[in-house]
Amino acid sequence: MSTPHNAAKMGDIAETVLLPGDPLRAKVIAERFLTDAVQFNTVRNMFGYTGTYEGKRISVMGTGMGCASIGIYSYELIHMYGVKNLIRIGSCGGMQDYVKLGDIVMAAGSSTDTNYAHQYHLPGSYSATASFDLLSKAVEEAKKHRFPYIVGNVICSDVFYGETEEWKDWAKMGVLAAEMESYALYCNAARAGVNALAIFTVSDSMVSKEEMSAEERQNGFTNMMKVALGAAASL
């Protein structure tokens, strides 16, 4: 079954998928970490691959940026291709002084300024949360490798270049970092009864205004990839 956004046939995609925003990062992960990786999608240059990692069949596919984009790709992966475990891997901006560049942030919960959950006609505000099983496996992997990590709440926003400093209001509520995809992913997964987790590398700090160098991004993102792949392989 193909869709307007994915040329894969049923069976081409594993039940567990890693989801970077950048399709070129999906290509790098497939080439660097997966054995016998086969490309299943090139539509819109949103690359997808399936291979094996530590004997486990795993796929990786780009999603683009924002709730609208990951909402489309994750929905199709779940409902058209039978994916059961979705792990978002990306970057985030730290919002607390103790959240340092290169730290791995694991989103136990996702707050939002988006209207994504409006489609469900809920009589209140929906708290989007990660799968505890996936989260606990990711924590175990980070501990095993001794990578610095923090678990908590993130803010999933539609806005990258904000006109105000509203992030400070979220920070007062203990929110760790800002990103743009987790809320839609968690909503889609919850609605379908499957598992989802979003983990991020802190690439910049809204508090100190520091930013990672290109080399630091490379190393930091590699740590995150190892955590996500290890968690995926342990399912």
Angstrom distance (rounded) from CA 8 to CA 162: 37
**Residue 82: how many other CB atoms lie within 10 Å:** 13
Pairing label, strands 195-205, 104-112 = antiparallel
The one-character DSSP state at 8 is P
Q: Select from 225, 219, 231 the least CA-distant residue to 102.
A: 219
CA distances from 201 to 107, 137, 146, 154 (A): 11, 17, 15, 12
158 given a catalytic annotation = no
Judge whether 171 and 95 are in contact, CB under 8 Å: yes
Catalytic residue among 103, 133, 169, 204: 204
Helices (runs of H) and strands (runs of E) counted in the chain: 6, 10
Q: Which residues of 22-51 are buried (b: 16+ CB within 10 A; e: fewer)?
A: bbebbbbbbeebbeebebbbeeeebbbbbb
Give the H/E segment covering residue 105.
Answer: strand 104-112
Q: Which residues of 157-186 are buried (b: 16+ CB within 10 A; e: fewer)?
A: beeeeeeeeebeebbeeebbbbbbbbbbbb
Inter-axis angle of helices 23-33 and 214-233, nearest 10? 60
* Residues carrying an active site annotation: 204
